[in-house]
Amino acid sequence: MTAASLTYNMLNPMMRFIKKSTFSSFLLFFSAALALILANSPANAYTQWFLSQNIGFTIGSFTVEKSLLLWINDGLMSIFFFVVGLELKREIMAGELSVPKNVLMPIVGAVGGMLFPALIYIAINSGGSVEVMRGWGIPMATDIAFALGVLYLLGPKVPIQLKVFLTALAIIDDLGAVMIVALFYTSEISLVNLTIGAIILCMMFTLNKLGVRRVLIFALLGIGGVWLATLLSGVHATIAAVLAAFAIPADRRIDKTNYLNAISQLTTKFKTANKAKQEKYLLSNEEENIIGEIKRISKASISPLQRLERNMHGLVIFFVMPVFALANAGVVIDSNWMQMISSSVALGVGLGLVLGKILGIYGLAMLGLKLRWFGMPQGLNQAMLLGISCLAAIGFTMSLFINALAFNDPIYVEQAKMGILSASLISGTLGYFILKKTINNRNKNNSDQKNSEV
C-alpha cells in the first residue's frame, strides 16, 4: 500500500464527518435562532408547557417517566454520545488518534482547552454557593459542528490539515466531556442497577469476541440493558451510550482480498447467467440471486461499527442536535439582561470559553512547540492555531448539555446560557476573521511566489 493510499484511508472517514458536520451547522444556527425567538415571544409559555409534559412507559410494576425535556437531554443526547463513541473507537483504531505524532499536539491543546476554562470559572466564582461552583464544567466543551461550520464559511481554500486538527481536537475534547459527566455530574448511584448494566456490557464485549455481528442483538442489549440500567442507576445515561459504542464490533466478516475475489467471480457468473425474457425491464431468477449474494458479501465486508457510524450520522446531525438546541438554547432576554450577562456565572462561563480556550489550546500548543514536544503540523502556522483556538471556544451544544446537568436553579441556567451564547458568538466571529485574514495572506503569498518563479 502506497503512502498516498494509506493517508486517504486514514483521512477519508474523518473527511466524510467534516462535510456532514459543516452542512448541519446551518441547521443548528437556525435551531438556536428559533429557540431564542420562541423564548422571547408569547409562544414561550406554550413551549415550556410542551417540554414539561411527562412521557414514560410501564411494564408490570416497572415504570419509567420523565419530562419531554429530560427525554431529549437523556435519550436523544445518548444517541449523540453513542455516535461520538463510535467515532472515538474508529479514530483510535485507524484514524488520526492512532498515530502518536499526529495526536500529541491535539491532546495537549485539548487538555489545556479543558483545564484553563475550568480554572477561570472557579477563579471568578470562588466564594460562591455550592451550586454556582458546579458550573465549572460548562466552559470546558467544544461544539465541533458549529466550529466546522465557521470553517466552511471560509470556503474551499481552508487547508485540509486545519480541519483535521480541529476535528481531532474536538474528538479528544468530547472524550474529556464524557469523563467529566461520568465523574462529576451524576446523582445518587444505585449499585444494583449499575452492576446489572456492567454485566450486560460485559456480555456485549463477549459477543463481540465470539464473532457475533448482528447489529440488532447489540442494539437490544445496549438500549434495553446497558442504557436503561445506567439511567436507573443515577449515572448519566450518555455514559452508557459511549461504553456501548466501544462494544460494537470493528472487524469485518470478509476481508478486502476475499471480497475482491468473490466479487470478481460473481461478476463473471452474472455475465453468463440466464437472461430474463424481458431483459430490458426484468432480471432472471439466477441474476437476482447473484445480485443478492453481492449485496450480502458487500454488507459483510463493512464492519458493524462503520455501518452504524455512517447510518446514524444523519440522524444525529440533522435531528438530534437541532432538536436539543431548540429545546435548550432559548434565553429570555428582558430588562434585566445586563444584570444576567454581568453575573459571576455568565462571566465565568463566557470568559472561561473565550480566554480559557485561547490560553489553553494556543498557549500550550506554543509551549509544546517551543519545548519541541511536537512539530507544527504541515500547512499550519501560529496564526491559524490562534484562529482554531477561538473556534474551539464555541461551546454551544456540549456546554448547554452540561449546563442542564450542573444547575437546578433556573436563574443560574439562564445566566450560563447567556455566557455560552455570548462567548460562542464572540469567539466564532473572532476566529472567522483571524483565519480569513491568515488564509488570504497565505494564498496571496503562494500566488506571488508562483508568479515570481514563472
The answer on pLDDT for 370 being more than 80 is yes
Closest-CA residue to 71 (of 48, 98, 52): 52
Closest-CA residue to 395 (of 329, 342, 312): 329
Helix (H) or strand (E) holding 359: none
Render pLDDT for 211-240 as a digit per residue (tens, 0 to 9): 888 888 888 898 888 888 887 776 767 778
pLDDT at 171: 72
**Are 447 and 165 contacting, i.e. CB atoms less than 8 angstroms apart?**
no
Rg (CA), the chain: 25
CA distance 120 to 124: 6
Closest-CA residue to 388 (of 171, 144, 29): 144
The answer on pLDDT for 414 being more than 80 is yes
Cell 500566488 belongs to 447
Reported CATH class of domain 22-67+102-155+312-448: mainly alpha
The answer on pLDDT for 11 being more than 60 is no
Confidence band for 351, pLDDT divided at 50, 70 and 90: very high
Pairing between strand 54-59 and 62-67?
Answer: antiparallel
Residue 186 grid cell: 451524576
pLDDT at 112: 93
Mean pLDDT over 409-418 rounds to: 90
**Three state DSSP letters for 375-428:** CCCCCCCHHHHHHHHHHCCCCHHHHHHHHHHHCCCHHHHHHHHHHHHHHHHHHH
pLDDT at 298: 82
Render pLDDT for 51-82 as a digit per residue (tens, 0 to 9): 889 888 777 666 777 788 878 877 887 887 78
Average pLDDT value for the chain: 81
Confidence band for 450, pLDDT divided at 50, 70 and 90: low
Residue 363 grid cell: 498557549
CA distance 159 to 282: 48
pLDDT at 192: 87
The answer on pLDDT for 278 being more than 70 is no
The answer on pLDDT for 133 being more than 80 is yes
